[in-house]
Amino acid sequence: MAEQHPFKWRHFEADLILLCVRWYLRYTLSYRDLEEMMRERGLSVDHTTIYRWVQHYAPELEKRCRPHLKACNDSWRVDETYIKIKKVWFYLYRAVDSDGQTLEFLVSSTRDAEAAKRFFLKALHGPACSVPHARLLEEPVSQPTVSALPTTTTPIPRVINVDKNAAYPKALADLKVAGILPETVELRQVKYLNNLIEQDHRFIKRLTKPGMGFFSFETAWRTLEGYEVMNMMRKGQLQGVGKGDVRGQIALVAKLFGVAV
């Protein structure tokens, strides 16, 4: 069955929709800011319409970009920051490699070993962490903690740097006991080595401020997927698009959605 056109039944042109989605996910703008900016161009687009576009197309953009991510290295920096959902603080787990390339992200209501374990499992299955010539571990499908995940050949980090959160050593120890990580994976709790990811948090935190928090977990997750993938694009993590290549970013997004530019 042929894939349905992603902009079928929309009242606005596809390039305008992608423009609003890209700008919202890339720059520090509110939905009302974008409404005014479109009005300057002679287009009447309500801010709630732009909101619906972002909610629909941000996860789709993230999904379509994933197969085009470049390989990251095997030295990980892992940390968590905070986001507000329905006036409650949640934890946003994030990981980058030693070059600052984004590996993975996960939102959790808790900050404990189980949450850290879920994050590591997600990172191990993400295409962003595929490492050229990396050591590979065939994941045991019999493990109950990963029964919902497909059998894959998983790239293994050489070293994982974290802060002093006691949940991380327990999570990694459990993964090693389960055979998901080999004993050779080194865990380092050296604070200054995590300055890289703490600086990287700022980009995401800055984008969340105009909205003053999210109104549901689903809304937060959909929007964060878009923030993160546009951040990856900004860093030059997608094949064929270099860092700072704005025209290349525009062309890639259009190509992924089958839109002529």
What confidence tens digit (pLDDT) does each residue in 156-215 have? 899 999 999 999 999 999 999 999 999 999 999 988 888 999 999 998 889 988 766 798
Which helix H or strand E contains 39, and what residues bound it?
helix 31-40
Average pLDDT of the segment spanning 13-23: 95
Which helix H or strand E contains 84, and what residues bound it?
strand 75-85
> pLDDT confidence of 125, banded at 50, 70, 90?
confident
- Among 170, 201, 232, where does a domain finish? 201
Helix axes 47-65, 246-256, angle to 10 degrees: 90
> Does the pLDDT at position 124 exceed 80?
yes
Q: Is residue 3 part of a domain?
A: no
Q: Do 59 and 109 reside in the same domain of the chain?
A: no
- Radius of gyration in angstroms for the set of CA atoms belonging to the chain, rounded to a whole number: 19
Average pLDDT of the segment spanning 99-112: 94
> What is residue 260's predicted lDDT score, i.e. its pLDDT?
78
Average pLDDT of the segment spanning 18-44: 95
Count up the domains in the chain and report the number.
Answer: 2
> Does the pLDDT at position 38 exceed 70?
yes
Contact 77, 161 (CB under 8 A): yes
Residues 70-81 have pLDDT tens digits of 989 999 999 999
Q: Which two tokens stand for residue 92?
A: 């946003």
Q: Residues 6 or more apart from 65 whose CB is under 8 A from it?
A: 229, 232, 233, 238, 256
CA–CA dist 173, 175 (Å, integer): 5
| DSSP H stretches of helix in the chain | 14-26, 31-40, 47-65, 113-124, 167-177, 195-208, 217-235, 246-256
Q: In this structure, are strands 186-188 and 88-97 parallel, antiparallel, or unpaired?
A: unpaired
> Does the pLDDT at position 27 exceed 90?
yes
Contact 17, 51 (CB under 8 A): no
Averaged pLDDT score across all residues of the chain: 86
Q: Is residue 244 part of a domain?
A: yes
Q: Do 84 and 122 reside in the same domain of the chain?
A: yes
Q: Do 170 and 102 reside in the same domain of the chain?
A: yes
Q: Do 36 and 122 reside in the same domain of the chain?
A: no
CA–CA dist 9, 201 (Å, integer): 37
Contact 21, 4 (CB under 8 A): no
- State the residue range of the domain holding 52: 14-68+216-256
